[in-house]
Amino acid sequence: MMKICCIGAGYVGGPTMAMIALNCHDIDVAVVDIAAPRINAWNSSNLPIFEPGLDDVVKACRGRNLFFSTDVEKHVAEADIVFVSVNTPTKLRGLGAGKAADLTYWESAARMIADVSTTDKIVVEKSTVPVKTAEAIEKILNHNSNGIQFQILSNPEFLAEGTAIEDLMKPDRVLIGGRETPDGKKAIETLKDVYAHWVPADRIITMNLWSAELSKLAANALLAQRISSVNAMSALCEATGADVSEVAYAVGKDSRIGPRFLNASVGYGGSCFQKDILNLVYICECNGLTEVANYWKQVVQINDYQKARFVKRVVSSMFNTVSGKKIAILGFAFKKDTGDTRETAAMDVCRGLIGDKAQLSIYDPQVTREQILRDLAVDKLDWDHPRHLQQSLNSKHVSVVSDPYEATKGAHGVCILTEWDEFKTLEYERIYKSMQKPAFVFDGRNVIDVNELRKIGFIVYSVGKPLDPWVKDLPAAPPS
Ligand code: UDX
Ligand code: ADP
């Protein structure tokens, strides 16, 4: 029986391996991690990540051909294919700090693979990494290999959180990059056979290693660019009286453009977009491509601008001060249907409001209190981030509650920062009655019915929508 081992039981490794196990009864899949609490959670009824549909998949395979373990070395030694899905955060210090990927975890995983292997193996890059990482990893493996053959493949994951199971079940494409040698081609075929258990052959694309690595960065850069483009338009819509949803609808009808990923928002978040673009910027700079680097940098800068602009809207609408005022924050996750907060726009918005001494009351249906407080306590990496967004937490200014009505009770304003479905159907009449007057709603996700809320009496700001007379003459752009 073929054995697969995945190093790293995170948002990518966990669901991806569960899906392989579900679809490949003839393959044993072990997911290993150095973090014992994470592995314990994967082995419990309370999985470490919230992802619709994941519980059922894990239940169906766990103990059958899907195993979670901290015995990293044993499972790596036994495996025919080793996926590496460890974290690759942005480097915090040293050369390339703030942009380059930190490959410490990757390197230590590679060295460990070389140390414990006694049979030939295929090593698969699953985490997003800079272009040419495979080459570096290949060197580490082959210089420490004791005669064992390693084939490196790049197999970037395109799943989005919140829809991971769907994305894995019916991927638009599976990408496999490898060496163009006979052994490289053989390794590509072996991995292709795994996916072919459930993915139609014409959706499995093979190419050279660097193309596969770059394709992942390129896909995320283009997706993020669409959001920054529409967010840039949202500012212009507010200035001119156009409605960004109407503009996006009209634009998306062009089949060359397409309708998806054109929702204006308070800003994109998530573990990938910013990190991957910064990575791309760094690679461009290292290759002397300054203009190209600056082009992509601008996508991140517009995202920062959008978050800062939102904070400015809140503060200027509320008589230019939120000092001492209770503000409800509805939603903290970086998107709906996930408990993940990595790079969430909510973090910057909350920091901005805390910087202006607001009293925040935060509600999110999936993110824990501890996570929110931890996120707000950490100082943000300053890479071209506006100074006023870089405030560290004074916990006196934040409370985290488990009920949206408690969060909004007595508040001067409500900020909707994640598009959770439940925010569409809250009892806004009841919320209005319990709030200070004038009562403000700032919708960073365009989930509420603006006209309904205005009828109730709220002063409403919705990203990229025609402005309330109240907000109209107040300054819109953050100071540079
Ligand atoms: C992304 C890519 O979609 C995925 O292919 C890759 O593997 C990892 O990165 P993810 O970060 O999980 O996935 O979520 P995604 O759905 O792409 O959303 C990213 C951010 O963009 C979220 O904060 C979301 O709210 C925001 N977004 C998305 C918008 O603001 N507007 C949109 O129209 C779409
Ligand atoms: P992603 O979103 O890319 O899946 P996560 O941060 O959710 O990233 O998961 C990465 C996982 O990799 C973490 O659980 C971490 O403990 C694990 N990890 C990092 N380095 C190693 C290593 N050398 N051996 C085993 N697990 C590792």
Which residues partner with 328 through β-bridges? 361, 414
**CB 160, CB 338: distance < 8 Å:** no
Nearest CA to ligand 2 atom 19: 86
Ligand 1 atom with least separation from CA of 265: 30
Q: How confident is the model at residue 478 (pLDDT cuts 50, 70, 90)?
A: low
Q: Whole-angstrom Cα distance, residue 470 to residue 448? A: 18
Nearest CA to ligand 1 atom 1: 160
Q: Whole-angstrom Cα distance, residue 313 to residue 388? A: 14
**CB 82, CB 122: distance < 8 Å:** yes
Check whether the bond before 438 is cis (ω within 30° of 0): yes
Using alpha carbons only, give the angle 456, 461, 467 rounded to the nearest 5 degrees.
100
Per-residue tokens: 133 = 């990482």
Q: Whole-angstrom Cα distance, residue 38 to residue 8? A: 10
Give me ligand 2 centre to Cα 389, in Å. 29
Give me ligand 1 centre to Cα 268, in Å. 7
Strands 121-125 and 150-154: parallel
Nearest CA to ligand 1 atom 6: 158
**CB 167, CB 155: distance < 8 Å:** no
Per-residue tokens: 179 = 């060496």
Nearest CA to ligand 1 atom 9: 272
Spatial strand order of the sheet with 204-208 comes to: 66-69, 27-32, 2-7, 81-84, 121-125, 150-154, 174-178, 204-208
Q: Whole-angstrom Cα distance, residue 450 to residue 329? A: 18
**CB 58, CB 66: distance < 8 Å:** yes
pLDDT value for 322: 96
Which residues partner with 348 through β-bridges? none
Q: Is 164 in the pocket of ligand 1 (CB under 6 A)?
A: no
Burial of 316 (0-12, 13-18, 19+ CB in 10 A): middle
Give me ligand 2 centre to Cα 331, in Å. 26
Enzyme catalytic residues: 272
Q: Is 400 in the pocket of ligand 2 (CB under 6 A)?
A: no
Q: Whole-angstrom Cα distance, residue 49 to residue 60? A: 17
Q: Whole-angstrom Cα distance, residue 307 to residue 449? A: 22
Helices (H) and strands (E) in the chain, counts: 18, 14
Q: Is 105 in the pocket of ligand 2 (CB under 6 A)?
A: yes
**CB 219, CB 461: distance < 8 Å:** no
**CB 167, CB 158: distance < 8 Å:** yes
pLDDT value for 469: 84
Task: Using a pLDDT cut of 90, give the percent of the chain over it.
Answer: 86
Residues in binding site for NAD(+): 8-13, 33, 38, 86-90, 127-128, 161, 272-275, 342
Ligand 1 atom with least separation from CA of 260: 33
pLDDT tens digit sequence for 213-272: 999 999 999 999 999 999 999 999 999 999 999 999 999 999 999 999 999 999 999 999
Q: Is 33 in the pocket of ligand 2 (CB under 6 A)?
A: yes
Which ligand gives the minimal distance to the CA of 7? 2
Average model confidence (pLDDT) for the chain? 93
Q: Whole-angstrom Cα distance, residue 418 to residue 273? A: 17
Give me ligand 2 centre to Cα 128, in Å. 12
Using alpha carbons only, give the angle 275, 277, 281 rounded to the nearest 5 degrees.
115
Give me ligand 2 centre to Cα 20, in Å. 18
pLDDT tens digit sequence for 364-393: 999 999 999 999 987 654 444 444 444 455
Question: Sign of dihedral through CA atoms 107, 108, 112, 113?
Answer: negative
Nearest CA to ligand 2 atom 17: 8
Please name which of 179, 99, 68, 33 lies closest in space to residue 383, comparing C-alpha atoms.
Answer: 99
pLDDT tens digit sequence for 299-325: 999 999 999 999 999 999 999 999 999
Instruction: Set out the domains of the chain in order of their start, with CATH numbers.
Output: 2-199 (3.40.50.720), 242-472 (3.40.50.720)
